[in-house]
Structure 1
């Protein structure tokens, strides 16, 4: 459980995914084949607020039986779109009052 404890302690969030559910296979045939989702993309709340349209895709199986995790960060939240916040300390500056 040390990994789970680290994820919880750092308040990380699974970004989820689009595409195939599984990221790994043991490459066996028939009933011996095992599929698992063992690879994940994690972020914190600050990332989620900054990159609100982040998408994770499971793509292109490799020779090792793993799929790549491709993270697309579209429509990056523009810093200028944040609401204006008035700071009371500005009243102390003679040039601001």
Structure 2
């Protein structure tokens, strides 16, 4: 476990946190024998967290497993980054241009 923590530190990865039920694993035993832990996590570096600052991690529910599925909503706010919120629109007329294929290949 120490090696894993060192790896997270070396790669500058941090836990993204979560929304929902606090545990991701349950041994499914009766009341007093029941154990629950947050075993599953999602980590990211600072660059990713800055780009997708509006993201959220959700712990979902599963009848079929003792682990809860994780759902990452990767969101970013274009307005915060100073970019236009206008959607990209492909123009069919661009296909008629001689360099269309070359431009697409480069990108």
TM-score category, normalised to shorter length: 0.7 to 0.9
Which ranges of structure 1 fall in alignment gaps of 5 or more residues?
83-97
Q: Give the CA deviation at 1:64.
A: 2.4
Secondary structure of the residue aligned to 1:81 is: coil
Superposition misfits of 4+ residues, deviation over 4 angstroms: none
* TM-score normalised by L of structure 2: 0.69
Secondary structure of the residue aligned to 1:13 is: strand
Matched, 1:13 2:36: no
* TM-score normalised by L of structure 1: 0.76
Structure number with greater CO (CA < 8 Å, separation at least 6) is 1
Q: Number of residues paired by the alignment?
A: 81
Name the residue aligned to 1:78: 78
Q: Give the CA deviation at 1:62.
A: 4.4
CA RMSD of aligned residues (A): 1.7
* Equivalent residues in 2 for 1:1-97, closer than 5 Å: 1-74=2-75, 76-78=76-78, 81=82
Q: Give the CA deviation at 1:4.
A: 0.6
Name the residue aligned to 1:88: none
